[in-house]
Structure 1
Amino acid sequence: MPAAPGTKGVIQWIEDQNDFFVSFVFANASFFGVQQGLRGLVSVFVVVTHVSRAWDYSLFFPRDSSNATPRLLQLPILRVPPQGRIGVPLFAFLTGFVCAAKPLRLAYQQDQQHAAVMSMARSAFRRPIRLMLPAALATFCSFLMSIVGGYKAANRCDSQWVRFDAPGTEPFGTDLARFLRTLITTWTDANNPYDRHQWAMKRLLIGAFQVYGVLIVTMGMRFRYRIMVNVTLLAYWWLNRGPFTETFGAPLVLGTLVAELGQHQPTQSFIKSRQRLLTYFVAPVIIILGLYLGSYPQEHEDWALWSRHLEQTFVRKGAPEGQRGSFLVPEGTSSHRRFSSIGVMLVITGLFLAPRFQDALANKYLQKAGQYSFAVYLVHGTILRTIGVWIIYGISGEPWTKAGKNPDGSDQTQEWIQRRGPVHVFISIVVFIVLTYSAAYAWVRWVDSTCARITLWLEAKMFPGKDADSNASQEKQLPKPNQYPV
C-alpha cells in the first residue's frame, strides 16, 4: 500500500474523488449522485433545528398557543427544516445506502461476490475507527471548555434546552472521571453529557453492521429474493414497537434497497421509460405527502386543525376514545418519530422515481456542504453552547443566585439569566453559523485527514493485499469524510 498523502494531498484527493464520484454515478445510476447533496442538506437542517430548539422552541408547536395565529415557519411543510426531526432518519438512510453501494456495485458490474465481501470486511473495519476517533476528539474539546468554565452561562440561561444540552460544572477530578467514562458510554448507552448530539452515533454504528450482515447473507441470492428479504426487514422494523426502530431500522433498510435498485438496469429502464409521468405527477405527490406527514408537531398537536386531523386519523383512529394506533403509527410507538420517518422514506422514494428532481441536490453548494457534514455534526454543539450563548447572555454567567428554600420548606422558583434583545440573538446565530462551518473546514483539513491516515495505517497492518478497487485510477483507499454519518 502506498504511503498516505499529506494534509494538502488529502484535501485535493477528496475534491478529485467527489468530482469523479458524481460523474461516475450519473453515468450509471442517477440517484447515487445526490447522497452527498443530502448530507449537505441534512447538516444545514442540524444547524437550523438546534438554533430553533435553543432560541425559538415554539417553532416545534403548530402555533405559539391554542388561540394564536400560526407563524410562517409553523405551517405544514415549511416547518420541516426548523423542526429538524427528519435529520436522524436521513442519516440512517444514508448509512444504509453508503454501506451497501460499493459491495453491490462490485457484485453487479464486476460479478465479484468475493471482492464484494472483502470490500465489506474492510469497510466494517474502517467504520468504527473513523467514527470513534473524531467523536472522542470532539468530546475532548467539549471537556476542555467544561474545565475552564465555558458552560457556566449555558447552565444558567433561560433556555431549558440549552441548559439540558450543556454539561454541568464539576470539580476537575470529577470532570475528568466523567470525561473518561463518557468515552465509553457514548458507545454503550448513547450517553455523552459533553455532546448530547452524539446520541445517534452508537445506533448508526450498529445499523451499519446490520447492513453488512444482511449483505453477506443475501449477496449470493437472485435479485428478486434479495428484494424480498429487504422488504420483509423493512416491514419488520416498521411493525416493531421497540424504541427508535422507525428511526434507525426502517431507513437503513430503505438505503440498502435504493442502492440495490439504483444499480438494477431493468428498474432504471422502467423509470426512464415513464419519466414524464413520474416526474410531473407521481413523484411530486409522494414528496409533498411525505413533507406533510413529516410536519407532525413535536408537541401540542391539538392546537391546529391539520395536526389534530393527523393525530385523530393515525394516532387515535376515529374519535379520541376510539381505537389507538394505526399501520403508520402502531400503538405504543413514538408518534412524532413515526411521522418523521415515513416522511423521509416518502421523500426519498419520490426523489428516486424522478431523477430530474435530483439536480437540486447535486448542485455544487450542497455537494460542498456534504464534505463537511460529519465535522459540522461534531463541532456545532460546543460552539452553540459557548460562543453562541456568550453573545446573548454574557460570558460570566453572572449575576445569578441558586434558588433556595421557602419558609415552609418548599423549593423556591429558580430564576434564570434572561437573554438580551433580538439583535444579540441575531448576531449570535450569524456568528454561530460562520464559526461552525469554518471549524468544520479546519476539522476536515487537519483532524479528519489525520484520522484517515491512522485508519489506513491500521488497515495496511491488518489486511493483506489491496482493496478490490485500488487498481482503478480514480478510486483509492483513503476513506472520504462525507461517507460517514454526521
Structure 2
Amino acid sequence: MVTGYVCALKPLRLSRQGQQDVALKSMGKSALRRSPRLILPATIATFLTWLACELGAYHTAAHCDSWWIKETGPKPIANFWHAVRSLINNVIGTFTYGGNQYDANQWTMLPLLLGSFWVYMFILATAYVRPRYRMMLSMCMWLYFILANDPMFGMQFFFGVFLSEAQNHPASAQFLNQYPKVCRVILCPFFLILGAFIASYPEAHPERVGWSRALQSVLTSILPHGSEYSRFASGFGVQLMAIGLHFSPKMRDVLANRAFLWLGKNSFAVYLLHGPLLRSVLAWLVYGFKTLPDTLDDEGKPVHHSTRFPGMMHLYVCLMFWIPFNYGMAHLWTTYVDPWCADVTEKFVRYVIRDENEKPQATLLPA
C-alpha cells in the first residue's frame, strides 16, 4: 500500500494541476530509478549473507531446534566456484522467480518491483482522465485483484493509489475542514477500531471463538471461493485503519514525529538485514556457539542432534540486546550503503536520460 501511495503521489498531484507533461516526465525518472533502487540494496544484502554463510556464521542456526531457521537458512558450499555461481543464480532469482536461498525474506522484492510498474502504467494510462474517474478506476483495479485472489500485493498497490488520489482531492479536504469533529470523534475511531477488529482475524482455526466465526461467515459471503481469508482480513484491516488516519490530521501529525520517521527511514534496511542477523547474532545469543556433534545409528546412518531452546525468558533477554543491534546495523546501512545506492542510481538516470537542450534526431519518415 505504501508503494502504491508513494509511486502515485507526485504524478497525481501534478496531473491534477494540469501539468500532465511534467507529471509524465517525473514518473519516467521515477520508473528508471525504481529498479536499481530495489536491485542494488537487495544484491548487496544477498552478497553479505552469502559471505556470512560461507564463513560459517550460520553454523549454530543450522544445528538449533527451530524448524523455520533451519529450513530457510542457507548451507555453505565447499567448492568456491560453485558457491559463486550459487550467489549469482540467487541474485538473479530474486528478481525473476522470487527465490533466494540465502535470504528467503527477499521473495517480496519481485512483486514490489512489478507492482510499482503496474502503478506507473496505470498513471500513464489515466494521465488525462478526470480525477474523479481515475479514483473510480483505481478502485476497479482494487476490486479486480480481490477477484484475482491477490490480497497481499495487487489489492494493496491500487488502494495506495486511491489514498494518494483522495489526499489530493479538494472535496476530501473540504469535508475535513467543514466537519472536523465528525471526522475526529466519529469517523476516525470507527474506521480504526473496525480495521483493527478485522485485521485480528486469526491465521488458523477461526471457528474456535464466536467473533472470528462471525467474521469468517462475512468473508466467505463476500470473497471468491478459495480465497486466503486471513490475508484478506489483514489487508482490509490495514486499509480501513489507513482511512481512519485520513480522517484525523492530528493523528497523522503524531505519527509523523521524529521517532516514527526514523523508524520508517530504517525499515527497509531492517527488512534486508534482520534475516541474516537472526541466523547469526540472535542464534549465538540464544543457543551459544557450541553444537552437538552428529552420531551414527545402528545402521550406520548419521543422526543430527539439535541444540535445545533454552526458554522464553532467555529469548526475551536476548531480544533486549538484539533488536537495538538490528536497528543499529540498519542505521549504518541507511547512512552509508543506501546513499551509495542512491548516488549510483542518480548517475545512471542522468546518463541515460536525454538532456533537455539536446535536439531530437530527425525522423526517418515525413510526418
Equivalent position of 2:135 in the other structure: 227
Equivalent position of 2:332 in the other structure: 442
Deviation at 1:412, TM superposition (A): 10
Equivalent position of 2:237 in the other structure: 343
Q: Give the SS at the match of 1:246.
A: coil
**Contact 2:77/2:83 (<8 A) preserved:** yes
Highest relative contact order (Cα 8 Å, sep 6+), 1 or 2? 1
Equivalent position of 2:37 in the other structure: 130
Give 1:366-405 correspondences, 5 Å limit: 366-396=260-290, 398-401=291-294
Deviation at 1:162, TM superposition (A): 1.6
1:111-150 per-residue CA deviation (whole Å, 9 max, x = no partner) reads 2100100111100000100110010000111001100111
**Contact 1:372/1:441 (<8 A) preserved:** yes
Deviation at 1:375, TM superposition (A): 1.1
**Contact 2:294/2:303 (<8 A) preserved:** no
Of the three residues 8, 13, 26, the one matched with 1:100 is 8
1:384-410 per-residue CA deviation (whole Å, 9 max, x = no partner) reads 1100011111124x11436x6677x9x
Equivalent position of 2:306 in the other structure: 416
1:19-41 per-residue CA deviation (whole Å, 9 max, x = no partner) reads xxxxxxxxxxxxxxxxxxxxxxx
1:393 to 1:224, Cα distance in 2 relative to 1, 3 A:
same
**Contact 2:188/2:245 (<8 A) preserved:** yes
Of the three residues 173, 186, 189, the one matched with 2:94 is 186
Equivalent position of 1:425 in the other structure: 315
Query: What is the rounded CA distance, in whole Å, between the counterparts of 2:293 and 2:236 in structure 1?
Result: 45
Q: Give the SS at the match of 1:297.
A: coil
**Contact 1:135/1:378 (<8 A) preserved:** yes
Deviation at 1:314, TM superposition (A): 3.4
Matched AA of 2:7 = C
1:462 aligns with 2:352: yes
1:182-206 per-residue CA deviation (whole Å, 9 max, x = no partner) reads 0111011111111111111110110
**Contact 1:393/1:420 (<8 A) preserved:** yes
Deviation at 1:413, TM superposition (A): 8.8
Give 1:41-56 correspondences, 5 Å limit: none
**Contact 1:152/1:169 (<8 A) preserved:** no
Query: What is the rounded CA distance, in whole Å, between the counterparts of 1:414 and 1:438 in structure 2?
Result: 35
Query: What is the rounded CA distance, in whole Å, between the counterparts of 1:306 and 1:265 in structure 2?
Result: 38
Query: What is the rounded CA distance, in whole Å, between the counterparts of 1:423 and 1:282 in structure 2?
Result: 41
Matched AA of 2:309 = R
Query: What is the rounded CA distance, in whole Å, between the counterparts of 2:105 and 2:57 in structure 1?
Result: 18
1:401 to 1:175, Cα distance in 2 relative to 1, 3 A:
same
1:242-297 per-residue CA deviation (whole Å, 9 max, x = no partner) reads xxx11111111111111112112122102221221121112211111111111122
- RMSD value over aligned CA atoms? 2.1
Question: Percent same amino acid among aligned pairs?
Answer: 34
Query: What is the rounded CA distance, in whole Å, between the counterparts of 1:377 and 1:439 in structure 2?
Result: 11
**Contact 1:155/1:166 (<8 A) preserved:** yes
Deviation at 1:170, TM superposition (A): 3.0
Matched AA of 1:208 = S
Give 1:243-392 correspondences, 5 Å limit: 245-311=150-216, 313-314=217-218, 325-327=220-222, 329-392=223-286
**Contact 2:152/2:231 (<8 A) preserved:** yes
Matched AA of 2:155 = A
Equivalent position of 1:204 in the other structure: 112
Of the three residues 29, 32, 54, the one matched with 1:147 is 54
**Contact 1:389/1:428 (<8 A) preserved:** no
Q: Give the SS at the match of 2:204.
A: coil
Matched AA of 2:94 = T
Gaps of 5+ in 2: 357-367
Q: Give the SS at the match of 1:379.
A: helix
1:199-227 per-residue CA deviation (whole Å, 9 max, x = no partner) reads 11110110000000000111111122212
Deviation at 1:330, TM superposition (A): 2.4
**Contact 2:292/2:305 (<8 A) preserved:** no
Taking structure 1 as the reference length, what is the TM-score of the superposition? 0.69
Taking structure 2 as the reference length, what is the TM-score of the superposition? 0.91
Query: What is the rounded CA distance, in whole Å, between the counterparts of 2:298 and 2:21 in structure 1?
Result: 72
**Contact 1:102/1:116 (<8 A) preserved:** yes
**Contact 1:130/1:451 (<8 A) preserved:** yes
Deviation at 1:348, TM superposition (A): 0.9
**Contact 2:294/2:302 (<8 A) preserved:** no
Query: What is the rounded CA distance, in whole Å, between the counterparts of 1:415 and 1:333 in structure 2?
Result: 40
Deviation at 1:426, TM superposition (A): 2.4
Equivalent position of 1:55 in the other structure: none
**Contact 2:14/2:20 (<8 A) preserved:** yes
Moved more, 359-368 or 450-459: 359-368
Query: What is the rounded CA distance, in whole Å, between the counterparts of 2:267 and 2:74 in structure 1?
Result: 24
Query: What is the rounded CA distance, in whole Å, between the counterparts of 2:166 and 2:341 in structure 1?
Result: 33
**Contact 1:391/1:424 (<8 A) preserved:** no
1:172 to 1:308, Cα distance in 2 relative to 1, 3 A:
farther
1:171 to 1:281, Cα distance in 2 relative to 1, 3 A:
same
Matched AA of 1:226 = R
1:435 to 1:271, Cα distance in 2 relative to 1, 3 A:
same
Query: What is the rounded CA distance, in whole Å, between the counterparts of 2:238 and 2:192 in structure 1?
Result: 9
Matched AA of 1:203 = P
